[in-house]
Structure 1
Amino acid sequence: MSSKPARPKPGAQAKGCLREWRKYSISAGFVLLWLIGLLVIYRDAEQMAANTETKIRKEMGIETRAMAAKLAGMLERTYLTVKTISLLPAVRAAASRNRGDAAEDVVDEGHFSGDDATIIQQLYNHIAADVEVSEIYLVYDGFAPEQGQVPFLMFDEVLLERISTAHTHAPTHDADVPEEYEAAEYAEYVRQLDHLRRHAPRLPDEAPQGIAAVTSALLRTCDNSQYTSLANGDQRDSHGLLLSVPIYDLSSKAFKGLVTAVLRANVLEAALLGWPRLPVTELDRAMLAQQRIDLQSPPAEYVLENRGTGDRIMDRRSTSLPRVLAEQERAAIHLAQDVRLPYSSAWRLHRYKSAADLDRAIAPIRREMWQRLGLLSMLLAALGLAVERVFAVQRRSTRTLTLMANYDALTGLPNRRLVAEHLANALSRAPTASSQYAVLMIDLDDFKEVNDSLGHQVGDRLLVEVAQRFVDSLRASDQLLQLHCEAEPLDVNSSMVGRLGGDEFLVLLPEQSGLAQVVGIAERLQASLREPIALDREQIYVHASIGIAVYPEHGSDGPLLLRSADAAMYLAKRQGRGQTVVFQQDLDEQSRQRLHLLTDLHSALALNQFTLHYQPELNLASGQIDCVEALIRWQHPTLGLIYPAHFIALLEQSGLVLEVGQWALESACRQLKSWQDNHSPIKHLCVNVSVKQLAQPGFAESLQDTIRNVGIAPEALTLELTESMLMQHPEANIHLLQSLRKTGVKVALDDFGTGYSSFSYLRQLPLDVLKIDRSFVIDTGTPQGLAICHTITALAQRLGLKVIAEGIESAEQFCNMHATGSDWMQGYLIARPLPAEQIDPFARGFDWHAFRVDNDLLEHSPEWLPWPHRAPSPS
């Protein structure tokens, strides 16, 4: 009899299934926790990758804008140089003819004078040293290369010496014949002449602004200064751009030719790499190695494009950029930035980041993700500890990136970005009516001299010490934002000291009761610098210029407030070391006027806007006007007559003081010669010179040439230098004055008493004349002031110096300075500065007796006579 197996009961079946599932519960929990951990880690990695890509894109944008500005500066400076050459009177007035052949010398043939050629040469030397322009050519309309004509070539001995040195290291070959490229280059000159003749036929009314420019496509030039042989070099090194501006006739202002600069493509390519030049020759490689340039660095990601010609310049080492440009490969990031130029909008800078490069940048994050996942899988039993560790790593990375983005690596202070953010947040809360929000812009005075003389490492240590002193000074009584705070957010009610870069600092001061409190804090910051800073064996005294601006009086938002503080700071620097200035509303207008004057100064000399006035000096030994001081004036076409106090500092800043000073010296000497030829009483002349002129190599020889060419005696000329200028570098200036004295001219120390020169330096200075400053003359109305003038005069006489009293404006001052024993008097009491045509009649008609009567001088001393006629005083 058969039997069937018994069927399990439903309850027992359910329990069995439950037991079966229990076996997998731990595994299921493990898988579930692993999946949760995987999701967390993956999302974290993706977020970090996204943040990294955003940061890379932002940094690329900043770098691209900086590179575009750098390239724009190179092209614009080249344009400004050739434009300046095109506006030179000699270039505009020269005959519109070209060189018949390369052997024709422009100076010997009389096309340009030696001085004019030297000016053009100096302009070329300046831009060639800055941008490495190969050559500068002058091509006049009607250029006919087929007739053998060649352009006027400007080159310097430095370039020739460099070519010779390169040839010495690598001798030339038969293939090295740059002349074979002249046809293409000369054809481009003909094309550009035709283009400018049609599109820029006359000098624009707004000149020197608005002058046109034309840029060629890349072509092979005949320049051979960067490689020794085409056989050994790269053909691309012979390609270049021709940047040209028109020349307009001086009288008719009609187009007559062009000035062109040859800019090699490899110079722009080197700029894209951040190198001083490309390693074309072995000599170049040795120089770059000496400068520790890494020639194995990754290829640059930039492409410079001329949209007008279609030319592109890029790092020739790159293999990915040609594929990207040919659309054979897709770039992960592409940025484009216009290169802004005053004469062209065709240039654009592109920046590419390939997908492979971006993946390499994100690869560490990917690797970290798999490592964390593996660690999670291996240590799942300690899941809590592992997860905490993962997030701790993330937090540390975030804090590190935050510190790098927001704080200065050298001083630890908030950087420009964090300061601007903190200021914007604070101003958005609108400070209360009972308090003010102040901004202090600080710039260290003469910090560049520390770097130049002691090195950048000492300069960095100095900045760290200054930053610490500022922080300690504020921390003493102000609520100072804690630096590198990792837990608390920025408190907008806290003060902040930040470093903007270089030697510039910014202090934010919220909730100030009034301007007096802000000024007091500024004085406390100044006081923190009074003690010298000891660095190794050096004791360095630091001074700072501080500009103060207050919200909302001086600015309704952060940028305006910072600009106002910056304007006040620059005014403080112009007032001298260690000054504090509060912004005033007229500072913006002053800044605009100053910029306008600085622009007009560049053409003032060429337009003959400078003139000389002469102030008489009364010789007390003869009672005659036998000497005058030449004083420069600027006859501005719209502002009228401008006095030196308003533009001499601008001349110093712009570097024009050398050219204008030489003009003033030559003009004054010629005027003295004219007076002497007409038997004028005026026998001597005083001319102010700058220490920058004095420090120029060959100044003494140039002065001798000027005196010899004009035909005056050297002893008839006195050069005046201010005491404050001489005391900046007294030892060096003593040597300069000694070489100057050998020419036979006399040297006067002007404004004596204002430059704090020590008597030891006064004894060593090779001087002939001492001019007592007007401030001391004014004080002669007091016994103490008169005693000081007596002392100065006695000291000068013991040193064998003549004494001139400046600023005599009253009879009392005249008598007081006469009593001290001054040799000459100068001031408004005698005469104001006069034009040259009025000085000689004034000197001839000057009557000593009438002068004393008119100014009531006889009442002071009825027996007063010039020094030779005075009776000896009783013993």
Structure 2
Amino acid sequence: MPKLSTRLQRFRTGSPLSFRLLAWILLFSSAFTLVASALQIYSDYRKDLSQIDNRMQVVESGYASSLARSLWALDQKLLQTQMEGILSLPDVVHLRLRIEPDSELVMGEIPRDAKTTSHSFSLVHQGDEMFKLGELTVTADLDRVYDELKRKVGVMFLDLDNFKHINDTLGHDAGDNLLIEAARRISSCLRGTSTVARLGGDEFLVILPGLTGPEASSQVAERILKTFSPPYILNGQEVFVTTSIGIAIFPTDSDNSGTLLQHADAAMYQAKHKGKSSFAHFAPEMTEVSHERLKMESSMRRALELKEFELYFQPIVNTDSGTLCSVEALLRWNNPAMGMVMPDRFIPLAEETGLITPIGEWVLLEACRAAMGWKEATGKDIGISVNVSPRQFRDPGFTEAVMHALATSGLAPEQLELEITERLILDNSIETAEILRQLDKAGIRLSVDDFGTGYSALSYLKSYPFDTLKIDKSFVQDVMKEPEDASLVRAIINMAHSLGLRVIAEGVEEEAQTHFLKKEGCDFSQGYFYSRPLPAADFDAWLANNHRV
């Protein structure tokens, strides 16, 4: 049999996944997990080789004496039958019986370029004296073993959704307990030959060897998503946590371990964009998206320092009179290489990377300063509205950042309105209620942004201290065409007023829409009919020339 070093060399060249993939994992995973993964894959290889070794020993112990008797008796027919029985054993492809003094019998054929192993044993006759009758060499084909190692292997990249929120609100001990339970749930969905490793933070890697096809990895992913459905109990509180899964297949997607992991990572982000709690298989077009994402993240990390972010401003007017009452600050990113980047492209990435926190702080401060500048220019108080992302809102220093922006700019708290999305409102946690209470106590106005686009929970409008409700533009744009939209907008306005909330209609683009909104008693309007979002200098000019300020 070949030496261990020779076997390892064959293993390495015969299976492009084995060592190289595990070496890549070493960059991310703990040494213990690496060793466990490597031992698992190599032990499968060793197990198959051991089975062949054992089969050779069985041939020697079970056939040596009977072959010797047939040879001693010169029973050629029985000898041939016995050798045919040996040749029918799994992996055995060739027999060579050397008969003393100079004859031989050969059966079977060794495939060209096949990797083989051989075992020889002597055939002797035990009588008054011991006579050596010949030697049988049994050759086994190892291609099946290597083919097994080359079978498709699935690599799964898992990321827990909103893990940072758990860590920030319930503490790191709760976060650690969540990771332990998540690892247990993932492991419960895997078979014995699969491996799960935590890469760091809230990311896990799963290796699925011996896949019969992509559908097998999909079945595993579905089991994992299902096992994440029940709530976690952390600090005596029920918490629902989902995971997003990206899948890449070796060698279909790549035969390079590093590239394979990158593909799984790209697929994972695609799963997140699908709405989280889902999985996605790698597709070639994801490579371009992944590269663009890396490039955008790298550029965004320097954007604040290079002063590439800009604020655009759009007026919010009194629906009846058309007079200006406040302004919404809208973030834009003017990058020299990518041009003007709109928020829907970079805000989700900023949230994922945590860059939304420093960017959000900059927006708050600059928006408050702009409002103070308008007061100095016009002599009037003009309120400013700022969008707040869920991750920014949950940051432990968010309330302090808001107060710092007000104190630094000198803006009165009641002139600042923070726009909160419905998705954040539905996070019915003690932390959310406390932050909203602190902001309300400080005199800061609070509004529900894009109302109607999420799972509207009217009880939260009653429970939380909101001042304003903004009707999403998707409802406003068709009020003159679709009776259902008109009825819905009418109902939202009446409901908001019954709760003591002001109403702002977004996306007003036509005069006919303004007449409808006036008739239905909508307090304020915003949209292209009044003005597009303008950069600071252009908005200052708009203020100077607009007689309804």
Instruction: State the TM-score bracket (shorter-chain normalisation).
Output: 0.5 to 0.7
Deviation track 1:52-73 (CA, whole Å, cap 9, x = no partner) reads: xxxxxxxxxx9xx989x99xxx
Provide the C-alpha distance between the structure 1 equivalents of 2:268 and 2:336, rounded to a whole number of angstroms: 31
1:498 aligns with 2:195: yes
Q: Which residue of 1 aligns with 2:404?
A: 702
Shift of 1:615: 1.6
1:716 aligns with 2:415: yes
Q: Which residue of 2 aligns with 1:664?
A: 363
Provide the C-alpha distance between the structure 1 equivalents of 2:396 and 2:159, rounded to a whole number of angstroms: 29
Task: Assess, with a 3 A threshold, how the Cα gap between structure 1 residues 570 and 650 changes in structure 2: closer, same or farther.
Answer: closer
What amino acid sits opposite 1:691 in the alignment? Answer: F
Q: In the TM superposition, what are the counterparts of 1:18-29 in structure 2 within 5 Å?
A: none
1:759 aligns with 2:458: yes
Determine helix, strand or coil for the equivalent of 2:271: helix
Determine helix, strand or coil for the equivalent of 1:647: helix
| Pairing partner for 1:635 from 334, 337, 344 | 334
Q: Which residue of 2 aligns with 1:286?
A: none
Deviation track 1:812-866 (CA, whole Å, cap 9, x = no partner) reads: 7656655553222223344321112222444565699xxxxxxxxxxxxxxxxxx
Contact 1:498 1:507 in 2 (8 A): yes
| Pairing partner for 1:418 from 40, 43, 66 | 40
Q: In the TM superposition, what are the counterparts of 1:320-339 in structure 2 within 5 Å?
A: none
Q: Which residue of 2 aligns with 1:178?
A: none
Mark the runs of 5 or more structure 2 residues left unpaired by the alignment: 1-22, 46-142
Shift of 1:764: 1.9
Shift of 1:613: 0.7
1:562 aligns with 2:261: yes
What amino acid sits opposite 1:530 in the alignment? Answer: S
Aligned-residue CA RMSD in angstroms? 4.4
Q: In the TM superposition, what are the counterparts of 1:331-410 in structure 2 within 5 Å?
A: 407=36
Q: Which residue of 1 aligns with 2:183?
A: 463
Q: How many residues align?
A: 416
Mark the runs of 5 or more structure 1 residues left unpaired by the alignment: 1-61, 71-402, 408-414, 472-480, 484-495, 849-875
1:675 aligns with 2:392: no
Pick the structure with greater CA Rg. 1
Task: Assess, with a 3 A threshold, how the Cα gap between structure 1 residues 522 and 762 changes in structure 2: closer, same or farther.
Answer: same
Provide the C-alpha distance between the structure 1 equivalents of 2:235 and 2:384, rounded to a whole number of angstroms: 50
Q: Which residue of 1 aligns with 2:245?
A: 546
Q: Which residue of 1 aligns with 2:127?
A: none
Determine helix, strand or coil for the equivalent of 1:828: coil
Deviation track 1:289-338 (CA, whole Å, cap 9, x = no partner) reads: xxxxxxxxxxxxxxxxxxxxxxxxxxxxxxxxxxxxxxxxxxxxxxxxxx
Provide the C-alpha distance between the structure 2 equivalents of 1:730 and 1:535, rounded to a whole number of angstroms: 13
Point out the more displaced range, 773-782 or 594-603: 773-782
Determine helix, strand or coil for the equivalent of 1:571: helix
1:583 aligns with 2:282: yes
Shift of 1:520: 6.0
Provide the C-alpha distance between the structure 2 equivalents of 1:535 and 1:836, rounded to a whole number of angstroms: 47
Determine helix, strand or coil for the equivalent of 1:545: strand
| Pairing partner for 1:441 from 148, 152, 157 | 157
Q: In the TM superposition, what are the counterparts of 1:166-181 in structure 2 within 5 Å?
A: none
Contact 1:770 1:801 in 2 (8 A): yes
Provide the C-alpha distance between the structure 2 equivalents of 1:665 and 1:752, rounded to a whole number of angstroms: 22
Provide the C-alpha distance between the structure 2 equivalents of 1:520 and 1:783, rounded to a whole number of angstroms: 44
Q: Which residue of 2 aligns with 1:807?
A: 507
Q: Which residue of 2 aligns with 1:79?
A: none
Determine helix, strand or coil for the equivalent of 1:664: helix
1:691 aligns with 2:393: yes
Fraction of identical pairs, as percent: 31
Task: Assess, with a 3 A threshold, how the Cα gap between structure 1 residues 657 and 505 changes in structure 2: closer, same or farther.
Answer: closer
Structure that is richer in strand per residue = 2
Shift of 1:505: 4.6
Task: Assess, with a 3 A threshold, how the Cα gap between structure 1 residues 601 and 446 changes in structure 2: closer, same or farther.
Answer: closer
Q: Which residue of 2 aligns with 1:788?
A: 488
Q: Which residue of 1 aligns with 2:470?
A: 771
Q: Which residue of 2 aligns with 1:797?
A: 497
Shift of 1:707: 4.4
Shift of 1:636: 1.3
Contact 1:658 1:692 in 2 (8 A): no
Contact 1:572 1:581 in 2 (8 A): yes
Q: In the TM superposition, what are the counterparts of 1:157-236 in structure 2 within 5 Å?
A: none
Task: Assess, with a 3 A threshold, how the Cα gap between structure 1 residues 807 and 431 changes in structure 2: closer, same or farther.
Answer: farther
Shift of 1:635: 1.8
Task: Assess, with a 3 A threshold, how the Cα gap between structure 1 residues 678 and 532 changes in structure 2: closer, same or farther.
Answer: closer
Task: Assess, with a 3 A threshold, how the Cα gap between structure 1 residues 642 and 542 changes in structure 2: closer, same or farther.
Answer: closer
Provide the C-alpha distance between the structure 2 equivalents of 1:815 and 1:519, rounded to a whole number of angstroms: 53
1:623 aligns with 2:322: yes
Determine helix, strand or coil for the equivalent of 2:435: helix
What amino acid sits opposite 1:418 in the alignment? Answer: Q
Deviation track 1:560-583 (CA, whole Å, cap 9, x = no partner) reads: 333312221133235543022232
Provide the C-alpha distance between the structure 2 equivalents of 1:594 and 1:661, rounded to a whole number of angstroms: 20
Provide the C-alpha distance between the structure 1 equivalents of 2:468 and 2:235, rounded to a whole number of angstroms: 42
Q: Which residue of 1 aligns with 2:539?
A: 839
Of structures 1 and 2, the one scoring higher in RCO (CA 8 A, sep 6+) is: 2
What amino acid sits opposite 1:498 in the alignment? Answer: T
Task: Assess, with a 3 A threshold, how the Cα gap between structure 1 residues 628 and 446 changes in structure 2: closer, same or farther.
Answer: closer
What amino acid sits opposite 1:807 in the alignment? Answer: G
Q: Which residue of 2 aligns with 1:866?
A: none
Provide the C-alpha distance between the structure 1 equivalents of 2:289 and 2:283, rounded to a whole number of angstroms: 10
Q: Which residue of 2 aligns with 1:301?
A: none
Provide the C-alpha distance between the structure 1 equivalents of 2:245 and 2:286, rounded to a whole number of angstroms: 15
Contact 2:372 2:409 in 1 (8 A): no
What amino acid sits opposite 2:40 in the alignment? Answer: L
Contact 1:628 1:682 in 2 (8 A): no
What amino acid sits opposite 2:248 in the alignment? Answer: A
Deviation track 1:135-172 (CA, whole Å, cap 9, x = no partner) reads: xxxxxxxxxxxxxxxxxxxxxxxxxxxxxxxxxxxxxx
Shift of 1:602: 3.5
Task: Assess, with a 3 A threshold, how the Cα gap between structure 1 residues 525 and 742 changes in structure 2: closer, same or farther.
Answer: closer
Task: Assess, with a 3 A threshold, how the Cα gap between structure 1 residues 840 and 459 changes in structure 2: closer, same or farther.
Answer: closer
